[in-house]
Structure 1
Amino acid sequence: MINKDTTLCMSLSARPGNFGTRFHNSLYEQLGLNFIYKAFSTKNIEDAVKGIRALNIRGCAISMPFKEACIPFLDKLTDSVLAIDSVNTIVNDNGHLTAYNTDYIAIRKLITQYQLNTSQSVIIHGSGGMAKAVIAAFYDAGFKNVTIFARNEAAGQALAKKYHFSWVTEPASHYDILVNATPLGMSGGADVNTLSFPADLIKSANVVFEVIAMPVYTPLINEAIRHNIKTISGREVMILQAVEQFILYTGKTPTVEQIKIAAELASQP
């Protein structure tokens, strides 16, 4: 039961969804924690971050388009944020706001889990906050043959220079691993039915890695399945990064079974 001692956690996104809310609240209930989680949007990121501090909100997940915009209003940036200039998690310790990036942690874990071959060619679509986490994760995992596919020339070239990767505005004819780190295919947007890579490029790939969590079956994932190509879904990214957030907020580590129950609930329509 919610009471005066209930701890509030939240998320900030341009397009709030139900996944994080259901996932975190399920774990709170399973572990008997007096916490509650609520999704929000905002048109004023500075005031929203000030509200986190002023109202002693314990934790906040940060999604597009606020992953970079929130940085000036925070007190401490951890190494994962300093490396990529992108935040997806804020932890509030008595008014002191510390920034983390659990997206990066999730991507690194999935690269290891799926035993992706560092000698393979990779193309990463995007140059925003999530793309920065993905690019850094592939770089730190030892990948060398990586191309950044970004129509934003300044952002794309800057990321390519930083990590000694290539940058293109239009992809070549083949890459072994395709990674989508853009909103193309995301629920609730104008581009929900848009493929993030050309169909011929998807057909010739060995692995398709989608970062969008909702819907689970994006146009990219569906096209890859149609051609029997190995897929890594945004749902997997979302679950792993959300678990890391949960631990940061509560200091508790849920069991595999508890995570499974929360993830199944969070993935319902």
Structure 2
Amino acid sequence: MIIPPSRDTVLCISLAGRPGTFGVRFHNHLYQQLGLDYYYKAMTTQDLPAAVAGIRALGVRGCGVSMPYKEACMALVDEVDPSAAAIESVNTLVNTAGHLKAYNTDYLAVRQLLAQHQLDPATGFALRGSGGMAKAVASALRDAGFAEGTIVARNEQAGRQLADVCGYRWLPELGDLCPPMLINVTPIGMAGGPEAQQLAFAETAIAAAEWVFDVVAMPERTPLIQAAQALGKPLITGLEVIALQALEQFVLYTGVRPSDAQVAAAVAYARDI
């Protein structure tokens, strides 16, 4: 049971176009486990500059930043950590006495997952997407030594720019290509969205792939993940990404690193909806 907030409770929030429940449950469960007087709430906004000014003025300690605000936040903070500066995309704000510093724990999470799954950097891939999260994933792949990649994006300007920055090629559609690893970094398959029931890649590409990676975390089993599981493909899921990035946010907000067992319990609680 979550302890009700008091006047001394430290507030943390998230800003997303479509707020989810994972972060709320994950953070609040860890606060409860560790006896921390913090409270976390998911929000959305139609006025990002005013929302960020409110974080500063009201003493909100931390803020998770999701689509579509990740890039626009860059111009609204006082300091940018190298994890965000290198890719010009933000997913975390930390407020210290009115000084806002931006981080990108998505990037850190993906780097960890590539290592944990022991993916060979020689593996070629196609990454669908060109937004803030796509920048984090593509940059993590580049920095982990993955040299053969294709950015698939309908937005030619954003797609070409991301491909050029990371040293990959750009295509508007994957077409008949069947790369060894498929990575979805778009809202395709996201619960509640207009493309919730769609596959991010063609069935032929999924069947030919050696690895499938979907950053969409809600639902845990997206249409892409379901199709890959049915074929017995090795997976990296959005739940893995969101759990790792949320953990790093928690540490930034509180200065406390929970044990592996505490994190596992928080993840289990957050996904039990």
Give the alignment's TM-score, normalised by structure 2.
0.97
CA distance in 2, matches of 1:87, 1:162: 17
- Indicate whether 1:175 and 2:179 are aligned: yes
Runs of 4+ in 1 over 4 A off after TM superposition: none
Q: Give the match for residue 68 of structure 2.
A: 65
Code of the residue aligned with 2:49 in structure 1: it is E
What per-residue deviation string (whole Å, max 9, x for no partner) do you get for residues 56-90 of structure 1?
A: 00000000000011111111011111111100000
CA distance in 1, matches of 2:107, 2:24: 21
1:253 aligned to 249, 257, 264, which one? 257
Instruction: Tell me how far 1:2 sits from its aligned partner.
Output: 1.9
Code of the residue aligned with 1:92 in structure 2: it is N
- Indicate whether 1:195 and 2:199 are aligned: yes
CA distance in 2, matches of 1:118, 1:71: 30
Code of the residue aligned with 1:170 in structure 2: it is E
Instruction: Tell me how far 1:173 sits from its aligned partner.
Output: 2.3
CA distance in 2, matches of 1:221, 1:253: 30
Instruction: Tell me how far 1:170 sits from its aligned partner.
Output: 1.6
- Indicate whether 1:136 and 2:139 are aligned: yes
CA distance in 2, matches of 1:139, 1:2: 43
Aligned residue for 2:51, secondary structure, equals helix
Paired residue total = 269
- Indicate whether 1:30 and 2:37 are aligned: no
What per-residue deviation string (whole Å, max 9, x for no partner) do you get for residues 38-65 of structure 1?
A: 0000000000000000100000000000
2:12 aligned to 9, 12, 29, which one? 9
CA distance in 1, matches of 2:165, 2:251: 31
CA distance in 2, matches of 1:217, 1:165: 29
Note the 1:1-269 alignment, pairs <5 A: 1-171=4-174, 172-269=176-273
What per-residue deviation string (whole Å, max 9, x for no partner) do you get for residues 247-268 of structure 1?
A: 0000000011110111011002
CA distance in 2, matches of 1:125, 1:268: 29
CA distance in 2, matches of 1:2, 1:235: 28
Aligned residue for 1:9, secondary structure, equals strand
Aligned residue for 2:72, secondary structure, equals coil
Aligned residue for 1:70, secondary structure, equals helix
Aligned residue for 1:151, secondary structure, equals coil
Question: Where does the alignment leave 5 or more consecutive residues of structure 1 unmatched?
Answer: none
Aligned residue for 1:260, secondary structure, equals helix
Give the alignment's TM-score, normalised by structure 1.
0.99
What per-residue deviation string (whole Å, max 9, x for no partner) do you get for residues 100-150 of structure 1?
A: 000000000000000011111111110000000000000000000011011
Aligned residue for 2:107, secondary structure, equals helix
Aligned residue for 1:64, secondary structure, equals coil
CA distance in 2, matches of 1:179, 1:187: 18
Code of the residue aligned with 1:22 in structure 2: it is R
CA distance in 1, matches of 2:131, 2:228: 24
Code of the residue aligned with 1:90 in structure 2: it is L
CA distance in 1, matches of 2:265, 2:81: 30
Instruction: Tell me how far 1:33 sits from its aligned partner.
Output: 0.1
Aligned residue for 1:84, secondary structure, equals coil
CA distance in 2, matches of 1:259, 1:189: 28
Aligned residue for 2:164, secondary structure, equals helix
